[in-house]
Amino acid sequence: MLIGIMADTHDRLPLVEEAVRVLNKEGAELVLHAGDFIAPFTLDTLAGLKGNLIGVFGNNDGDRIFLSKKAAGYGNIDLHSACAEVDAGGLAIGLVHGDDPALLAALLEEGTYDVLVSGHTHRPLIGRYGRTLTINPGEVCGYLTGTPTVALLDTETKETRLIRL
């Protein structure tokens, strides 16, 4: 199973559209979004994903109630508050925004997840902490680094690759 991973879209619609195009072309069956959607209209573009999207809120997501209501209307977008647990492709995946360093550290130390996905830093990072594969896909928006990225995780091989948008 291929899982698309994104974070920090920050309303930059042309790059959100590109991320959706790329993840659909690559065949992502599921997409994880590690927060900072920002405005509810971003969900209109994300609803174009062929697979389902599971997301968590980030520190910049203001109107969470409206974001949740809008997401529920699409049928393929499922939003959670601070964290989500996802079982996909035989992997236990934790999904957080990453703005709470104590939560991130505790989840890594606990070692419960095969994969822990986070965002917030806007910088891509793929690594290991004990048995846990950690993935930060960087930023879709490209505002801080100038390099918009998403990631793809193959659940069979556990290989992750970054894709520059």
pLDDT per position as a tens digit, 84-96? 999 999 999 999 9
Give the span between the Cα atoms of 145 and 155, in whole angstroms.
28
Write the burial class of residue 36 (CB in 10 Å: 0-12 exposed, 13-18 middle, 19+ buried): buried
This prediction has a pTM of 0.97
Q: How many CB atoms lie within 10 A of CB 44?
A: 13
Which domain CATH number covers 95? 3.60.21.10
What 3-state DSSP class applies to 8? Answer: coil
If one counts the domains in the chain, the total is 1
84 strand-pairing partners: 95
Q: What is the pLDDT of residue 131?
A: 94
Give tens-digit pLDDT for 101-155: 999 999 999 999 999 999 999 999 999 999 999 999 999 999 999 999 999 999 9
Q: Which residues span the domain enclosing 92?
A: 2-164
Q: What is the pLDDT of residue 17?
A: 98
